[in-house]
Structure 1
Amino acid sequence: MKVLMFGWEFPPHILGGLGTASYGLTKGLAQQEDMQITFCIPKPWGDEDQSFLKIIGMNSVPIVWRDVQWDYVKSRVGNYMDPQLYYDLRDHIYADFNYMHTNDLGCLEFSGRYPDNLHEEINNYSIVAGVVARQQEFDIIHSHDWLTYPAGIHAKQVSGKPLVIHVHATDFDRSRGNVNPTVYSIEKNGMDHADCIMCVSELTRQTVIHKYYQDPRKVFTVHNAVSPLSKEIQDIVPRKNPKEKIVTFLGRITMQKGPEYFVEAAAMVLRRARHVRFVMAGSGDMMNAMIRLAAERGIADRFHFPGFMRGKQVYEVLKASDVYIMPSVSEPFGISPLEAMQCSVPTIISKQSGCAEILSKCIKTDYWDIHAMADAIHAICTYPALYEYLRDEGKKEVDGIVWEKVGVKIRGLYEQTLKNCGKL
């Protein structure tokens, strides 16, 4: 089976959970021998793992015809794409895009991030998708998150192939209900055109059905999983002070993630025990407000803000922690608690997170219940038996939540969708 996938991030260059999920999901899917995945991203860097899929950089797909030499094309795209593919794609330009600002290869530039002109990049990405869909061979289209829904719709219109969209989050999650109408319309349009909608949790599935008015028969829950730890990560030896406990929040410091509840719970814990330090790792628009809140609560001396973490740094922080906490207000899934439990870190999550549907060897509280949160933190830091139980049983549970099982489920949904569309 050949899958044309549209994504926005792919490791090692990621800005959030979307890239991590895209990698794990495609790797799990690729465990099946006949699965061929072509993964499109705005801007590859050349160090992506292409051992189990093919990556197409949308910034190297021409939309304007240019007469360029092979050696020059190779020097520009050769570290992440076969130069011949550039020429093959060039033969499938479908309209006169000379009015658009393209480079010397006739390609559109992409930031590979989430720039201020994000909506322009999303539109440009969908234009390029039309060239890719005309040239590539595939059985089904799979679009990850709202940024790539317009590209998926265009590819479906060009090819007549079924469209699967993967809802990793909705704007209801990101905005605490204060929805951006432009984003909502892109999301709903993607869902309306989709033949199958995969949601990362039942929580998200219910949002899709009731807030975007989708037919429940085409909306399915496909929980995320976690990739096995590399030897490099396994070999990390944490530096710990036996006299202190470390409690960690790791994620975007935005209202969706509930950082203020973490700070308030920390203040309550520190009124009962002073041997605990709190780490808020990440960046976001609420970071300065959280620094001020910690100061106002008189706990700044026990609070640390190390900034955005990536790759190995994430695991160094996790392994140095005694408790991991994710107090999200609305979390479609949340892979980070699974990563913490993988590292044998006792974990507290909000009941308002999708991963709460599949995890049992952790403590769950309502995001707003700072008293319960503080009690849980204090108990783990105080009672060795509770700490050891959550550490050992949590790791055991998460080691069974693997992407290969997710891949099998997605394959089944692909086949069901193709059958429903009369393509199988």
Structure 2
Amino acid sequence: MKALMFGWEFPPHILGGLGTASYGLTKGMWECGDMDITFVIPKPFGDEEKHFANIIGMSQVPIVWRDVDRQYVQDRIGNVMDPDLYYRLRDHIYADFNYMRTNDLGCIEFSGRYPDNLVEEINNYSICAGVIARTVDFDIIHSHDWLTYPAGIHAKQVSGKPLVIHVHATEFDRSRGKPNPTVFGIEKDGMNHADHIITVSNLTRDTVINHYGIDPAKVTTVHNAVTPLTPEQLNVPEHKSKDKVVTFLGRITMQKGPEYFVETAAKVLKNNPNVRFVMAGSGDMMNKMILLAAERGIADRFHFPGFQKGAQVYEMLKASDVYVMPSVSEPFGISPLEAMQMGVPSIISKQSGCAEILTNVIKTDYWDIDAMADAINSIVTYPAMYNQLREDGLAEVNRITWDKAGQKVIDIYNKVLNK
């Protein structure tokens, strides 16, 4: 079976859980066998792992015809695209896009990130999707997250092939119930055009059904998983502090509940001064959290190391004694599973999708800072509790693998194609 997947991130260049999940699911599906996946992203860098997916970058898809020789194309984009594919794509330009701003190859430049003109990049991505859908061979379309829904709709209109959309989060999660109407409209349009919808949790499935008015029969939950860690990841350098270390790792935004982490830290430190708190990540609430820690008089016990990637993530987790995810509305939340892989006991909010499948963690309401503080104190105080959560959590997370999630997605594909 051949799938045309539209995504926005792909490791090693990721800015959040979307890229991690897209990679894991794609590889898991490939491991199930008989899958040929073309994975499209805005901008490849040439160091993406490609043995299980054919990576195409929208920034190398021509929408304006240019008379360029093969050697020039090889020199310009040969590290990320086969020149033959460039010419095949050039032969399928379907409209006059000379009014668009393009480069010397007739391609649109993409940032590969989340720029201020994100809606414009989403629209440009969907224009390029029309060229790809006319060029490559596929049986089904799979669009990851709202950023690529317009591209999926365009590809469906061009090809007549069915569209599956994958809801990794909704605007209701990101905005605490006050959705941006533009984003909500793009999400709703994608859901209406989809032949089937995959959600990463039952929590998200309920949101899709109740807030977007989608028929429950059209929505299936496939929980996320984790990729087994390599020996290099497991054996990163250990920098253990003489104090206990409690870590928050993620975007420092309203959705993730960072203020509850700071308030919990203040409660813990009243009774146990030998604990350090780490808020790793970046986001629009970072400065507010630095000020809040200062206001609570705990700035000397708080660390803000900024955005972490690659080996830095595993080094930080290895140095931690407790991991906390106090998200207000978390569609899934892969980070606690990654912490458990490193043997770190985890505390998660009941308002997270991963709470549906994890047993060997402590679950509290995101707003219940007393319960979170009690849980932290218990883990850092009682070695027996720490060791049980560590060992049982590690055994549990090692059973949550992407090939199982991948097979569920393949089953959905077959169901859609056989309708």
Shift of 1:170: 0.2
2:332 corresponds to: 333
2:291 corresponds to: 292
Deviations along 1:356-376, one digit per CA (max 9) or x if unpaired, are 000000000000000000000
Which stretches of structure 1, 4 residues or more, deviate above 2 A after TM superposition?
Answer: none
CA distance in structure 2 between the aligned counterparts of 1:65 and 1:293, rounded to whole angstroms? 55
SS at match of 2:305: strand
SS at match of 2:418: helix
CA distance in structure 2 between the aligned counterparts of 1:402 and 1:237, rounded to whole angstroms? 26
Within 5 Å, which residues of 2 pair with 1:43-82? 43-82=43-82
CA distance in structure 2 between the aligned counterparts of 1:237 and 1:399, rounded to whole angstroms? 22
1:270 corresponds to: 269
Paired residues of 2:234 and 2:314 also in contact (CA < 8 A): no
Paired residues of 2:146 and 2:167 also in contact (CA < 8 A): yes
Aligned AA for 1:407? G
Shift of 1:279: 0.3
Within 5 Å, which residues of 2 pair with 1:198-277? 198-241=198-241, 243-277=242-276
Aligned AA for 1:165? I
Paired residues of 2:244 and 2:380 also in contact (CA < 8 A): yes
Paired residues of 2:164 and 2:194 also in contact (CA < 8 A): yes
User: Superposition RMSD on alpha carbons, in Å?
Assistant: 0.6
Shift of 1:240: 1.0
CA distance in structure 1 between the aligned counterparts of 2:24 and 2:185, rounded to whole angstroms? 29
CA distance in structure 2 between the aligned counterparts of 1:408 and 1:58, rounded to whole angstroms? 28
Shift of 1:237: 3.4
Deviations along 1:117-147, one digit per CA (max 9) or x if unpaired, are 0000000000000000001110000000000
Paired residues of 2:345 and 2:389 also in contact (CA < 8 A): yes
CA distance in structure 2 between the aligned counterparts of 1:237 and 1:89, rounded to whole angstroms? 46
CA distance in structure 1 between the aligned counterparts of 2:34 and 2:362, rounded to whole angstroms? 40
CA distance in structure 2 between the aligned counterparts of 1:339 and 1:85, rounded to whole angstroms? 37
Shift of 1:34: 1.3
CA distance in structure 2 between the aligned counterparts of 1:386 and 1:96, rounded to whole angstroms? 66
1:152 corresponds to: 152
Within 5 Å, which residues of 2 pair with 1:289-368? 289-368=288-367
Paired residues of 2:327 and 2:366 also in contact (CA < 8 A): yes
SS at match of 1:247: strand
CA distance in structure 2 between the aligned counterparts of 1:348 and 1:232, rounded to whole angstroms? 26
CA distance in structure 1 between the aligned counterparts of 2:322 and 2:134, rounded to whole angstroms? 50
Deviations along 1:6-34, one digit per CA (max 9) or x if unpaired, are 00000000011000001000000001321
Deviations along 1:239-289, one digit per CA (max 9) or x if unpaired, are 213x31000000000010000000000000000001100000001111111
Deviations along 1:99-128, one digit per CA (max 9) or x if unpaired, are 111100001110000000000000000000
Paired residues of 2:42 and 2:125 also in contact (CA < 8 A): yes
CA distance in structure 2 between the aligned counterparts of 1:231 and 1:13, rounded to whole angstroms? 21
1:121 corresponds to: 121
Aligned sequence identity (%): 74
1:412 to 2:411 alignment = yes
Aligned AA for 2:3? V
SS at match of 2:31: coil
Q: Which runs of 5+ in 1 are unaligned?
A: none
SS at match of 1:253: coil
2:99 corresponds to: 99
Aligned AA for 1:359? L
CA distance in structure 2 between the aligned counterparts of 1:399 and 1:225, rounded to whole angstroms? 9
1:192 corresponds to: 192
Aligned AA for 2:317? L
Shift of 1:77: 1.3
1:11 corresponds to: 11
Aligned AA for 2:94? Y
Deviations along 1:191-236, one digit per CA (max 9) or x if unpaired, are 0000010000000000000100001101000000000101211111
Paired residues of 2:166 and 2:198 also in contact (CA < 8 A): yes
SS at match of 2:96: coil
CA distance in structure 2 between the aligned counterparts of 1:214 and 1:355, rounded to whole angstroms? 23
CA distance in structure 1 between the aligned counterparts of 2:25 and 2:32, rounded to whole angstroms? 12
SS at match of 1:141: strand
Stretch deviating more after TM superposition (365-374 or 76-85)? 76-85
Q: Which runs of 5+ in 2 are unaligned?
A: none
SS at match of 1:271: helix
CA distance in structure 2 between the aligned counterparts of 1:178 and 1:159, rounded to whole angstroms? 35
**TM-score for the superposition, normalised by structure 1:** 0.98
2:39 corresponds to: 39
Deviations along 1:330-364, one digit per CA (max 9) or x if unpaired, are 00000000000000000000000000000000000
CA distance in structure 1 between the aligned counterparts of 2:8 and 2:164, rounded to whole angstroms? 16
Deviations along 1:27-62, one digit per CA (max 9) or x if unpaired, are 000013210000000000000000111001111111
CA distance in structure 2 between the aligned counterparts of 1:285 and 1:58, rounded to whole angstroms? 28
CA distance in structure 2 between the aligned counterparts of 1:236 and 1:65, rounded to whole angstroms? 49
CA distance in structure 1 between the aligned counterparts of 2:179 and 2:234, rounded to whole angstroms? 41
SS at match of 1:415: helix
CA distance in structure 2 between the aligned counterparts of 1:144 and 1:240, rounded to whole angstroms? 38
